[in-house]
């Protein structure tokens, strides 16, 4: 999740959230939180039509957080709202992982169907070439 979305959820300013991340940087390894690069920010900006850095936008590149980073945020922000929202977000991530895990077999079946369809297409092309 992006820092400004989390700041809104935790009812703190994005500046305050990033200040706490900076002051507690040892609690946020790269697999918990990291800062986007300019290309990634431009991709986000084009998707959401947000303002640019040059025209009233942010001065710093945003941070993004995994579910583990969100859990750490609740510790460093120390507000009751942060704790409650962290629990909610971690549960949402966990549910999302469960849903994805239950659909792995479905994804494998779709891959198999696509493979067979390609094989059949190749066979039909061969038959068509011979008939032609």
Is 27 in contact with 65 (CB distance < 8 Å)? no
Residue pointed to by tokens 């300019």: 38
Is 62 in contact with 7 (CB distance < 8 Å)? no
Rounded to 5 degrees, φ, ψ at 34 are -155, 165
- Strand, helix or coil at 71? helix
Residues 104-129 have pLDDT tens digits of: 777 788 888 888 888 888 888 888 78
Q: What is the pLDDT of residue 47?
A: 62
Residues 50-106 have pLDDT tens digits of: 555 544 456 788 899 988 898 888 888 877 887 787 788 778 888 888 888 887 777
């Amino acid at each position: 999740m992006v820092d400004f979305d989390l700041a809104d959820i935790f009812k703190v300013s994005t500046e305050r959230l990033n200040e706490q991340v900076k002051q507690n940087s040892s609690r946020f390894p790269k697999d918990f939180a990291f800062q986007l690069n300019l290309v990634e920010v431009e991709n986000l900006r084009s998707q959401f039509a947000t303002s640019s850095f040059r025209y009233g936008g942010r001065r710093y590149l945003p941070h993004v957080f995994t579910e583990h980073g969100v859990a750490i945020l609740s510790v460093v922000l120390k507000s009751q709202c942060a704790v409650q929202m962290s629990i909610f977000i971690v549960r949402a991530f966990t549910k999302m992982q469960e849903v994805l895990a239950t659909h792995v077999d479905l994804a494998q079946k779709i891959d198999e169907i696509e493979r067979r369809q390609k094989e059949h297409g190749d066979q039909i092309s061969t038959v068509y070439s011979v008939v032609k």
